[in-house]
Amino acid sequence: MVPFAGWSMPIQYKDSIMEATEWCRTKCSVFDVSHMCGLTLSGRDAVAFLEGLVTGDVAGLADGTGSLSVLTNARGGIVDDTVVTKVTPTEVYMVVNAGCREKDLAHLGEHLAAAKAAGKDVALAVHDDRALLAVQGPKAAEALASLGVATAGGAPFDLSKFYFGSFARVGIAGIPCWVTRTGYTGEDGFEVSVPNAHALALAERLAADRARVRFAGLGPRDSLRLEAGLCLYGNDLNEDITPVEAGLAWTVGKRRREAFDFLGGDVIRKQLADGVSQRRVGLVCEGPPARQHSDVTDLDGNKVGEVTSGAFSPCLKKNIAMGYVDKAFAKAGTPLKVVVRGKSSGATVTKMPFVPTTYFKG
């Protein structure tokens, strides 16, 4: 069955979660992620405005490129994580999490009103007229190329020179799309923003490629992102966790570290200088799958942290998890215990990603 963009994503389709995860690692999976919120900031002050709210060096991005960043609050906590793409010096495209949509728009709107009152040239547009399909896996580029990818002028568009983090407006199967080479699986892939009126037609064209393409749901999406060591907002990130604690200090651009002139910048500056008391880590678990809020203890049973995400890894055939532990226990190789339904089992701190990523970086 082909999903219609805009439906809530099911847990799975015909394939089991294990089958769908393994398919994405070897071929191509399509996820209907239209529930996520695409938006554009435009105007001569759009980049400067956004840099007051995120940690990334947006101005330093080349046109048509993007990177993961985080929206922060005054405490340095993470309001949301988002891929920020500088389309042009006066246009920034973002996709924020569905569960954060209302608070993100309220957060942006509050600061936007203040910017406009100060005479700044910046406007916000929300793309509810567009669907979003994530085309992921080692065969993703082949699957898209087989449909025909062309520039706005109609010339063939060469995906072999379109690298991770790049953005372009292209035609796919004659349908005007916005394409970003990115994803949430750890595999090579694309997020394709398509007008609602053409979403079903594009989905059907992709689904017709049965040798390469299958649709996948929330179950394998969660397994894939966990294997890749990627955070899920609301589990691994929230407004009380900072980028430094989350292992996302790299999102604070080098130029941004000169002034730390974004919300919560002073807090993050201090943490980078002095360190933090807890760290996000990966765990390989010997016992049953450890779920969110499972306690992590030292070998003597003293609580030293908490699991934020956990599941069985279809690719590793092991139970894996991520969570936050006291800094003293965050080194890879540290033996710990995880408490699941009152019973303790062994766990070992492990570097992430659990499964190597294969982003297409040229």
pLDDT value, residue 111? 98
Could you list the mean pLDDT of each consecutive 10-residue stretch along the chain, which spans 362 residues? 56 96 98 96 98 98 98 98 98 97 98 98 98 98 98 95 98 98 98 97 97 97 98 98 98 97 98 98 96 97 98 97 98 98 97 98 89
The domains found in the chain, sorted by start residue, are 1-274 (3.30.1360.120), 277-350 (2.40.30.110)
pLDDT value, residue 362? 83
CB 77 within 8 Å of CB 95:
no
Give CA–CA dist 262/241, Å, rounded.
16
Residue 333 CA to its chain's centroid (Å): 27
Q: 350: which strand partners?
A: 282
The pTM score is: 0.96
- H or E stretch covering 104: helix 101-117
pLDDT value, residue 8? 65
> Which pair of structure tokens corresponds to residue 283?
């765990």
Parallel/antiparallel/unpaired status of strands 123-126 and 303-313: unpaired
Give CA–CA dist 261/263, Å, rounded.
7
CB 257 within 8 Å of CB 270:
no
Backbone angles phi, psi at 6, to 5 degrees: 115, -20
